[in-house]
Structure 1
Amino acid sequence: MISVRPLRQRRPVTGTVLLLLAGMGALLAGCQSPGRESPELARQRAEAAAEAPAVPDSQIDEQIHRLWKEKSPEMNSRLNVTVDRGEVLLTGNARDPDMRVDAVRLAWQADGVRKVLNEIKIADESSLSDSATDAWINTKLWAALLLDGQVKSSNYSIETVNQVVYIMGVARSGVELEAVLQHARELPRVRQVVNYVRR
């Protein structure tokens, strides 16, 4: 007697199998020949290189202390510097607003500085009304820079003393710098804008 085996039924392809096949296809499509780099990987590599500090933090610290000493030996005794991957934190008590402005301006002059965080206090505060006006100007200008998509606001420091706005930092282009200065000039109550920005 001849036995007849039933035909095997095909199973439907499940969603899991389809997902696995699609994933393998994406992996194979992403493979590059040796020596070739995908545009995305190249972009990530370039961004990582841009973030890496070109100048060691210890050298940045030394430069700032030297610049401060040349300006006024008192600055080094009253103020402190902390550097982390090119970002500079300034702390301490300045004698007056002018010393605070000079400290930030000189910090931006050091090679390799990517950002300056100013936490310097002023021992001899000016009148309450002047301080309130200066704080108002600072707040308005920061808001304008943050809302401007053409400006990288973290590249700048702003100090306002007696309604005079001091802008310090590093501009990516002349167009960006002009936009920053224009924002400052357009604010009410600003008597003068002083530009200490490097390009």
Structure 2
Amino acid sequence: MGSGRPRAHQGRRRGAQGKWKAGAALALLALAGLSGCQSADRGAADRAAAQQAYKVSDSGVRAEIERRWKEAGGIDDRLDVTVTGGRALLTGNARDPDQRVEAVRLAWQVEGVQEVINEVQVGDSSGLSDTATDLWIATQLRSKLLFDSEISSKNYTIEVVNQTVYLLGRARSPQELERVQGYAREIGRVRRVVNHVRM
């Protein structure tokens, strides 16, 4: 009889230990889940910060190129620059071939420039009507990309100069890029579509 009590006491102790172990295991699982959520949240925050830094960097690169052009004698009055992911797209009409070369040379000197895409034309054949047409084309194309659910429109930069459409950015797939180029070609008055999009 005396030996039965210790067994019952031991059984209660084992039961308590089992409950404690189960509780500890559940607590560890919960902590692991929380740390996983925290690291996922941290990863998303880090990615967002990196994307924001890239945007700031691109805008800073563009401002520096424009500053150098201005100091070089008003090149910025005739040319435009768009910067995406460190890639500088130069467009517009240079006064002569020397000005075109100088614009490219100055763009390459700016820290953060990974690539210079030179689409500057020589001579000024554009007028007010050309500028209005370019703006109309760009607006039409941006609208088409925005309302197509199969295209990530934020990944594309569009420049239109003398009815030539310049595409810059990053495509998610060859099919997406083909849709974008197709839309550009379909717009009335577009003379040419120049693709500088990366995959």
Name the TM-score, length of structure 2 as normaliser.
Answer: 0.52
Q: Describe the SS at the equivalent of 2:33.
A: coil
Aligned to 2:169: 169
> 1:59–1:37: structure 2 CA closer, same or farther, 3 Å change rule?
same
The reply on whether 1:140 has 2:140 as its aligned counterpart is yes
Q: Report the CA distance between 1:77 and its aligned residue.
A: 3.4
Query: Which residues of 2 match residues 3-82 of structure 1 at below 5 A?
Result: 33-37=30-34, 47-53=44-50, 76-78=68-70
> 1:40–1:191: structure 2 CA closer, same or farther, 3 Å change rule?
farther
1:110 to 65, 86, 104: 86
Distance 1:174 1:42 in 2: 33
Distance 1:194 1:172 in 2: 18
Distance 1:175 1:37 in 2: 39
Q: Describe the SS at the equivalent of 2:195.
A: strand
CA displacement, residues 134-155 of structure 1 (integer Å, 9 cap, x when unaligned): 1110110011011011222222
Distance 2:174 2:36 in 1: 29
> Where does the alignment leave 5 or more consecutive residues of structure 1 unmatched?
1-31, 69-73, 80-91, 114-123
The structure with the largest alpha-carbon Rg is: 2
**Identical aligned residues as a percent:** 39
Report the AA paired with residue 110 of structure 1: G
Q: Describe the SS at the equivalent of 1:172.
A: coil
Name the TM-score, length of structure 1 as normaliser.
Answer: 0.52
Aligned to 2:129: 129
Q: Report the CA distance between 1:78 and its aligned residue.
A: 2.5
Distance 2:133 2:159 in 1: 12
Q: Report the CA distance between 1:165 and its aligned residue.
A: 0.3
Do 2:141 and 2:184's aligned partners in 1 also have CA atoms closer than 8 Å? yes
The reply on whether 1:95 has 2:87 as its aligned counterpart is no
> 1:129–1:49: structure 2 CA closer, same or farther, 3 Å change rule?
same
Report the AA paired with residue 158 of structure 2: I
Q: Describe the SS at the equivalent of 1:34.
A: helix
Query: Number of paired residues?
Result: 135
Do 1:156 and 1:167's aligned partners in 2 also have CA atoms closer than 8 Å? yes
> 1:62–1:135: structure 2 CA closer, same or farther, 3 Å change rule?
closer
Q: Describe the SS at the equivalent of 1:94.
A: helix
Do 1:64 and 1:110's aligned partners in 2 also have CA atoms closer than 8 Å? no
